[in-house]
Structure 1
Amino acid sequence: MNQETREVTAPAEQLDTPIRNFSLLLSPTPRGARLARLLATEQLRTWGLPSQPAEQIVAELAANAVTHGRVSGRDFRLTLHVVGAALRIEVTGTRGDRLPYAQEVAPDGESGRGLLLVDALADRWGVAHGPTPRKTVWAEVEFRVTGSRPSPRRCPTDRPGA
């Protein structure tokens, strides 16, 4: 496992807001996807950020990379960027020819809901191409500061009727 972590100070006008970065390569296996979720959760805890909804987003994107983007012998990359009150989650895989899309799923279907969950939990998400043969699926979550600890901008339990 290759891990790179760095913390960089923002430009002069944002000196009180650090830029945080965490990136590592993981094996394209169910174990690698699980490890992505666990390590992301631990890194967010270290940074003093809430783990939800980011933990679930990482779990879904990593599972998709392992299930739909796997190429034998090629790892996938998990990257977390925090700039100010925004967290960007990126999962880079080696199957740029297979683009993700949210799909309707039968009520009794056993899979296919991952991107629907990402869409519901993230403020934004999308796909960045390249360099060939790679693609990066990313999701962003913005936090609001309440007291001394940031909290997610929205949470599934905040919705009416939940």
Structure 2
Amino acid sequence: MTQAAVGARQFSVQLSATRSGARLAGLLTVRQLRDWGVPSGCARQVVAELAANAVLHGRVPGRDFRLALRLDPAGVLRVEVTDARGDRIPRVDGPGAGWAESGRGMLLVAAYSERWGVVPAPAGCKTVWAELEPTCG
């Protein structure tokens, strides 16, 4: 059966906003994509960055973050990470930013993704999303 014949596949999990929660997000991504028969190299890098940002910049004590994966019939993977800090919007610093303390990881997200963005989520949260083409392995 081809991927196009299957329809969209979805996975979602709530994780603690800790470094171990961020590591677990990457491991769960690899396992889920393997179960779906999809390469995980690019996705693991994107999830690692977005989960790390959720823990470092989006953490509110006592609140978790959510990882969601959606694989559409054409093989496009959408990664979403929702954290509790809607007021902290990620940005991409360009090559002239030097050794800035933030923004460089989002350059990786932008490089691996066809497109990415940020949308508000309920309760003052935000969701950072990225879409990866099937050729990104």
TM-score w.r.t. length of structure 2: 0.89
Query: Which residue number in structure 1 is paired with residue 8 of structure 2?
Result: 19
What's the CA shift for 1:52? Answer: 1.6
Is 1:87 equivalent to 2:77 in the alignment?
Answer: yes
CA distance in 1, matches of 2:102, 2:123: 28
Contact 2:91–2:103 under 8 Å retained in 1? no
| Corresponding letter in the other structure for 2:124 | P
| Corresponding letter in the other structure for 2:113 | A
Spell out, residue by residue over 1:104-132, the C-alpha distance to the aligned partner (whole angstroms, 9 max, x if none).
4325x565411010001100100011213
Is 1:63 equivalent to 2:52 in the alignment?
Answer: yes
Query: Which residue number in structure 2 is paired with residue 50 of structure 1?
Result: 39
Query: Structure 1 residue runs of 4+, over 4 Å off?
Result: none
Is 1:115 equivalent to 2:109 in the alignment?
Answer: no
| Corresponding letter in the other structure for 2:71 | V
What's the CA shift for 1:17? Answer: 3.2
- Pick the structure with more strand per residue: 1
- What secondary structure is seen at the aligned counterpart in 2 of 1:62? helix
- What secondary structure is seen at the aligned counterpart in 2 of 1:25? strand
State the Cα RMSD in Å.
Answer: 1.8
TM-score w.r.t. length of structure 1: 0.76
- What secondary structure is seen at the aligned counterpart in 1 of 2:37? coil
After TM superposition, list the pairs within 5 Å mapping 1:89-108 onto structure 2. Answer: 89-104=79-94, 105-107=97-99
Gaps of 5+ in 2: none
Gaps of 5+ in 1: 1-13, 144-150, 156-162
Query: Which residue number in structure 1 is paired with residue 27 of structure 2?
Result: 38
Contact 2:90–2:103 under 8 Å retained in 1? no
- What secondary structure is seen at the aligned counterpart in 2 of 1:61? helix
CA distance in 2, matches of 1:61, 1:15: 28
CA distance in 2, matches of 1:141, 1:16: 20
Is 1:126 equivalent to 2:117 in the alignment?
Answer: yes
- What secondary structure is seen at the aligned counterpart in 2 of 1:69? coil
Greater RCO (CA < 8 Å, at least 6 residues apart):
2
What's the CA shift for 1:98? Answer: 1.1
